[in-house]
Structure 1
């Protein structure tokens, strides 16, 4: 494991936060500081310090290995950063969506979309359905171990033939004595190789459509001896009928995105989450915060790329001048900064209204749509301002660009977002 982060000036590091409007180290962006209290600012500073010290020096090693060590999950559990919005009685911090937003933003500043996804998915998308729809017994069984980093949970909805068409899932759970028998495949499952349990959407009726979907918590058998950080051993069938294999991807290399197969897997009756045939509402309930989190992470990722670029053009010289002194550079930076602030304003206003309890499905869809495409474009232009250096691994921008490209696809494609927005506009 690498313990150093070699970089040229401005490469992948934290530049002066003032370059993107941050007020002081670890405070909220200028103009939105009113959203956050002092406890939020303190939390931001703590997370940023932890990410800088304990994660960023190892990012390239984990990207190359396409794996984040299990010890990192346990260390995260000790900090409690990913558990901030969960109730204290379940091992959380008793925080709110603002604390969760801060975690999402600061982990995005790790510079690795795969690392951010690996560490966030268990608490951001996989465990919330258990918290919201599970019985007290189910919550006590499956939530605290994930918050402590002792177990990894994965949300298993997407299938090879369905994608955004969640009503078309084919993984079937048939009633048997004492529970269900599950057969089918799930794909693009974040954390799917290392997960100890899957919050899984299954079809529990013969009919298609929304009404025949249920959710089951599908647990894996005990890990083989010495398998903790061996993807091949962790993914192999342990006699439970479940196998998982990593998917090679353009970006998010540090995240073990998996194809998961269920072959005659027995799931006990008490693993049913929520109502039988009532799983579609669980899916819909999860989408709102997942998409808003993606918007928050994209804005933070743009901030990081912009800060790095401002630092780079300020010290890089060509034709006897700093790159920053060329009018074309200043115009490019002005356009990038403007686009980031527009994305931030839409995202933060949506966050504010969401925290206030308003119905913001349309606004969340807008924020998700706008930020993901903007991030790809902004990071591409930041890479361009680095010239040939931007194309190298050392700067980290080629990774940022690859990671950002998932945004317009994951969590609901651009096309789905446009359809949702259009329908809610009455079109």
Structure 2
């Protein structure tokens, strides 16, 4: 137990969560990976257990716990052989719901945040566009006000929970001529006329539902504007710190799982009359990866601790995601190699883990984009500031 960040209560929660995942989730993982559909009942069970409300106010059904409970949830979700299932859960709880809690008014919180915490509604955050990728400011989706409504036109892609969701949190340009100063955030029910979602076929994350979404003259009431008009970009940037830390934690956790699994395999696999964990070249390779992963974990925990205090950790979160996802890919690549031909077989976890991990350096801002953000901060001395409330 890392007593610097985790208390006995944290560890009791971890054990309870592990038991829940083994009993309620693991028996269904293979089916969900094959069908690409996570059945609705599990969302409600997560809600009933309070897992969606860990970081949210008690007044809306949450538990108002520190962020290290969230760390535990993320870490354990990476150890049940489906990063796709994990993505569906955290995209709902920490992408869509974060915006509801931060920018939603009281009506939105009562009608959407409360049922999201209870597992009765599923949300998706719609930022990325087919022509924009990581360039959020370059989005083309528009929201034009007419009377007491906004008319939304455009498209989004790579949206986790895009088909499952009951509602979308959508970024759109209310003043296209103002660039990133003209972006606003909106709440949209997925059953509205003019909304269509197409499921995408992916290399990994097979259990999760990733979609391309089109908006064709979708009408939403003006009260579904979240926060202030034109403040969408700073809202998005402010929440990117949490998203990037989530992906960094996911990365160190799946790499740690890969190492644990591989060391156990090596202790039982024999070659030339001894188990392969006795061969120096293999031992030293695993030690190098374990060292890299531990460095990432310590850095990630420190960044979470600062975020938990309310500090603006956009630089640290960006560094965390950049480094942790790279280390995870390198670690899992080596771990698969340690299993030889068995690592390439679907019945062993490394094949799926290898595919699932590859999205780490892409989602939530590619590594190339993150390096340029860090270049602006470190070399150009650019100082990013949180959104003014």
Deviates more, 1:206-215 or 1:408-417: 206-215
| Structure 1 alignment gaps of length 5 or more | 1-27, 222-238
* 1:334 correspondence with 2:287: yes
Distance in 2 (alpha carbons) for counterparts of 1:75 and 1:379: 31
Aligned to 2:383: none
CA distance in 2, matches of 1:363, 1:192: 29
Q: 1:98-247 counterparts in 2 under 5 A?
A: 98-221=68-191, 240-247=193-200
Which residue does 1:48 correspond to in 2? Answer: 18
- Give runs of ≥4 in structure 1 deviating > 4 Å: none
Distance 1:282 1:402 in 2: 31
Describe the SS at the equivalent of 1:248: coil
User: Could you say what secondary structure the match of 2:32 adopts?
Assistant: helix
In structure 2, distance between residues paired with 1:328 and 1:426: 39
Confirm or deny: 8 A CA contact 1:383 1:390 kept in the other structure: yes
Moved more, 348-357 or 400-409: 348-357
Shift of 1:301: 0.5
What secondary structure sits across from 1:151 in the alignment? coil
Match of 1:256 among 209, 217, 227: 209
1:369 to 2:322 alignment = yes
Residue deviations 1:109-146 (CA, integer Å, cap 9, x gap) = 22211000111211111111110111122111110111
Deviation at residue 359 of structure 1 after TM alignment = 2.9
Aligned to 1:229: none
TM-score, length-scaled by structure 2: 0.95
2:332 to 379, 391, 408: 379
Shift of 1:208: 4.5
How much has 1:420 moved relative to structure 2?
1.7
State the structure with bigger RCO (CA 8 A, min sep 6), 1 or 2.
1
2:49 to 75, 79, 91: 79
**Unmatched tracts of structure 2, length 5 or more:** 381-389
CA distance in 2 between partners of 1:283 and 1:360 (Å): 14
Q: How many residues align?
A: 380
The alpha carbon displacement at 1:344 in A equals 1.0
Matched, 1:356 2:326: no
Contact 2:315 2:377 in 1 (8 A): yes
